[in-house]
């Protein structure tokens, strides 16, 4: 008997010698997806400094605040359109011509997960490119097409795009013509994004710039703060600490901005839920009365039979 068992083990097709391979683990799939677009302060320059030891080449200091730490429930869509565990700098493989550091998005994602677990896992879709004007985000441009391509790839495996986080405008403060046309271009951009994503009520959270590259900063800020579009909310970055270049937010400022965006997002969700409840005749009480009525009819029918 032992001889037969040994022969069985030595057989080329023995399941013990060639066990069935385990099925591959499923790819991570986020449930709540957020698009991140704009220019350098969205991509993140927190902790980016000029390093004299490298000939004044910009370097990231590598410091990641606890509120920006990786979280198994926060994913990032890479440049090759795969989901991986998110970690700073989020835009490292997107804004490739610049040195990236801390932005607002990891602080935002960690904060919303800490306050509302019903959102499930979060997927961040980095699309921001430093130094870009609003005209470079018009429909048909490379940046716009890339935003659409990445947004669609993000939802291929399921999940819902919850919002667009938009932080841009510093580059439009240089030329007066850009500042003058900013309002029309911004409104069209938001409209085109909603149309092309087939999401006419997509929540948009824009950041009013805290700094500018030219003399027309106040003109661009006035447009951003005065924008009156449905489901578009503005978070004002004015007053947050800036780095030595007086253009980019510091790491603590980005963490604070992430919390400000979280507050705006959760407030909008609460407001939307209230509107749905108010729009229902009688609200929750009506639902309870209807269910009670049908339950009583069911019990009565059973008793009569």
Residue 53: burial class (beta carbons within 10 Å; 0-12, 13-18, 19+) = exposed
Q: For residue 12, what pLDDT band results from cuts at 50, 70 and 90? A: low
Q: Is the pLDDT of residue 141 over 90?
A: yes
For the question of residue 18 being annotated catalytic, the response is no
Element (H, E) at 35: strand 32-38
Question: Cα–Cα distance between 286 and 275 in angstroms, integer?
Answer: 16
Q: Is the pLDDT of residue 14 over 90?
A: no
Q: Are the C-beta atoms of 38 and 249 separated by less than 8 Å?
A: no
Q: Among 209, 210, 207, which Cα is nearest to 241's? A: 210
Residue with tokens 């909008």: 268
Average pLDDT over the chain reads 86
The pLDDT assigned to 45 comes to 98
CA-based Rg of the chain, rounded to a whole angstrom? 26
**Among 222-231, 235-244, 271-280, whose mean pLDDT is lowest?**
271-280
Q: Is the pLDDT of residue 271 over 70?
A: yes
The pLDDT assigned to 131 comes to 97
Residue with tokens 């603590």: 252
Dihedral sign computed on CA atoms, order 124, 271, 199, 119? positive
Angle between helices 251-279 and 283-304 (to 10 degrees): 50
In this predicted model, what pLDDT tens digit does every residue of 171-222 receive, in sequence order? 999 999 999 999 999 999 999 999 999 999 999 999 999 999 999 999 999 9
Element (H, E) at 77: strand 74-77
The pLDDT assigned to 50 comes to 79
The catalytic position among 18, 145, 245, 289 is 245
The pLDDT assigned to 26 comes to 55
Q: Are the C-beta atoms of 59 and 101 separated by less than 8 Å?
A: no
Q: Among 222, 246, 225, 250, which Cα is nearest to 235's? A: 225
The pLDDT assigned to 63 comes to 97
Q: Are the C-beta atoms of 88 and 102 separated by less than 8 Å?
A: yes
The catalytic position among 40, 105, 121, 211 is 40
Q: Are the C-beta atoms of 109 and 74 separated by less than 8 Å?
A: yes
% pLDDT > 90, the chain: 74
* Section 57-62 average pLDDT: 92
For the question of residue 73 being annotated catalytic, the response is no
Question: Cα–Cα distance between 260 and 280 in angstroms, integer?
Answer: 31
For the question of residue 121 being annotated catalytic, the response is no
pTM: 0.82
Question: Cα–Cα distance between 118 and 105 in angstroms, integer?
Answer: 19
The pLDDT assigned to 28 comes to 77
The pLDDT assigned to 288 comes to 46
Q: Are the C-beta atoms of 77 and 150 separated by less than 8 Å?
A: yes
Q: Is the pLDDT of residue 146 over 80?
A: yes
Element (H, E) at 179: helix 176-196
Q: Is the pLDDT of residue 149 over 60?
A: yes
* Section 17-27 average pLDDT: 51
Q: Is the pLDDT of residue 127 over 60?
A: yes
């Amino acid at each position: 008997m032992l001889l037969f068992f040994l022969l069985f083990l030595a057989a080329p097709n023995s399941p013990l010698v060639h066990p069935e391979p385990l099925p591959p683990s499923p790819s991570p799939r986020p449930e709540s997806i957020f698009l991140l677009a704009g220019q350098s302060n969205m991509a993140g320059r927190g902790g980016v400094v000029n390093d004299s030891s490298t000939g004044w080449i910009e370097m990231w200091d590598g410091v990641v605040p606890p509120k920006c730490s990786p979280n198994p429930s926060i994913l990032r869509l890479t440049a090759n359109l795969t989901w991986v565990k998110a970690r700073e700098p989020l835009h490292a493989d997107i804004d490739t011509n610049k040195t990236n550091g801390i932005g607002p998005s990891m602080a935002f994602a960690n904060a919303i997960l800490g306050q509302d677990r019903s959102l499930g896992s979060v997927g961040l879709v980095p699309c921001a490119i430093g130094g870009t004007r609003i005209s470079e985000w018009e429909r048909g441009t490379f940046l716009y097409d890339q935003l659409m391509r990445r947004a669609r790839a993000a939802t291929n495996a399921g999940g819902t795009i919850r919002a667009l986080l938009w932080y841009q405008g510093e580059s439009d403060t240089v030329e007066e013509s850009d500042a003058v046309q900013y309002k029309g271009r911004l409104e069209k951009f938001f409209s085109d994004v909603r149309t092309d994503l087939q999401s006419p009520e997509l929540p948009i959270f824009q950041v009013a710039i805290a700094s500018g590259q030219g003399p027309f900063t106040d003109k661009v800020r006035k447009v951003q703060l005065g924008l009156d579009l449905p489901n578009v909310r503005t978070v004002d970055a004015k007053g947050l600490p800036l780095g030595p270049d007086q253009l980019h937010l510091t790491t603590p400022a980005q963490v604070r901005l992430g919390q400000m965006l979280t507050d705006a997002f959760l407030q909008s969700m609460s407001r939307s839920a209230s509107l749905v409840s108010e729009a229902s005749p009688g609200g929750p009480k009506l639902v309870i009365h209807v269910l009670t009525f049908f339950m009583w009819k069911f019990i009565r029918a059973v008793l009569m039979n």
